[in-house]
Amino acid sequence: MTMDEEPTRTRRVRIVNAYGLHMRPASKFVAIAKDFRSDIRVEHQGARVDGKSLLEMTCLAAECGTTIGLEARGPDADEALDALAGLVAAGFHMTEEDYAP
C-alpha cells in the first residue's frame, strides 16, 4: 500500500502551554514529526500546514486555549498522532524556565 492509499487519521488537540505555539514548542513538534514516515499536516483557523516545517508551524500562531487539528497519512500515522497529541497535551514540555528572559 502506498502512502496515497493509506487512510488519513485525524485528531483535535487544545494548546495548553501559556504562550501558545511559538518557536520553541513548534521546533519540538517538528522534531517529533520528522521521526515518522507519515505525512503530517496541522490545521488552525482554516490554515493547513506541513507539520514537518518549522516556518509553516510558527506561522499558525495558535494561542493558548485554541484547538488545532492534526492529520497523519502513512504507515505510522496512528503512532505519529499519539506522539504529537501527547506532546501538545503536555504543553510541549515547556517549563517556566523556558519562558524566562
- Return the active site residues: 22
C-alpha 29/C-alpha 52 separation (Å) is 8
Residue 93: CA count within 13 A, CB half-sphere:
9
Quickly list DSSP for 10-73.
EEEEE--STT-S-HHHHHHHHHHHTTSSSEEEEEETTEEEETT-HHHHHHT-PPTT-EEEEEEE
Local structure of 9: helix, strand or coil: strand
